[in-house]
Amino acid sequence: MIRVDKDFALNMFSIDGRTALVTGATGALGGAVAKAYCYQGANVVMTARNEKKLKELEAEFKAEGLSCAIIAGDPAVEEDMKKAVGCAVEKFGELNILAVCHGFNSPKGILEQTPQEWQKILDADLKSVYIACRAAAEQMVAQGKGGKIVVTSSARSKMGMKGYTGYCASKGGCDLMIQSMASDLAPYGINVNTINPTVFRSDLTEWMFDPQSEVYKNFLKRLPIGRLGEVQDFIGLATFLASPASDFLTGGNYDATGGYWAN
């Protein structure tokens, strides 16, 4: 007899009724994840440093009847992340999913970048992830229901690049940190994984999508799939890793590169 539970098979990708906290919600990927989660029936708390942009997002989401809340805060500040987690619990009763989507880079070579500038990247892209994950994990453990932590890392976590000494170090450290964190939190039923994207379309990267540009042509030489990423390509993984379908997966670094790592 084939041992497949029909109910599970029909609902394994569902996050309906769950509560998610999304950091970096005012960014392209964070905003896309937040809206995708809402469309799928989740209650979503959005956090970022820019309160004005958060209020604009809230108005946009609520105009569509989506269940959401906002709270401004810096993911590198422990008290801000505790408040964000507290907001989720206060508004929706619990926290089931954390999607870490914030990030920062300031590309410079080692001879140009000061240690202070390098440290700023490490704090923004590594320390802040630890702080956000720890705040969410404490709440999930207290609830006793498990949970999902989905962290946006980068294709650059495993591939160096000129001018990226801070960014590559932070993302490489992030991947290893998440693997260790997954081991720490597995006994509590909390799955922790990263998504490792290459370039995805946003206001900041739109210039890279010009098919006539040399940057675009050179980039595509390394992408077997033949194009750069769109937000639709990201939200599928973000949903999968937040859903029951990924219950057996933890400590993974999931390729969202269009084949970049393979080529």
* Inter-residue contact 198 to 258 (CB < 8 Å): yes
At 232 the three-state DSSP class reads: helix
CATH topology for the 16-202+231-262 domain: Rossmann fold (3.40.50)
**What DSSP designation does 49 have?**
S
* Residues belonging to the active site: 167
User: What pLDDT is attached to residue 93?
Assistant: 98
Q: How far apart are CA 252 and CA 145, in angstroms?
A: 21
What tens-digit pLDDT sequence spans the chain (263 residues)? Answer: 889 999 999 999 999 999 999 999 999 999 999 999 999 999 999 999 999 999 999 999 999 999 999 999 999 999 999 999 999 999 999 999 999 999 988 999 999 999 999 999 999 999 999 999 999 999 999 999 999 999 999 988 888 889 899 999 999 999 999 999 999 999 999 999 999 998 888 877 887 788 888 888 888 888 898 888 889 999 999 999 999 999 999 999 999 988 888 87
Domain ranges of the chain: 16-202+231-262
The residues pairing with 69 across neighbouring beta strands, listed in sequence order, are 45
Q: Are 23 and 72 in contact (CB under 8 A)?
A: no
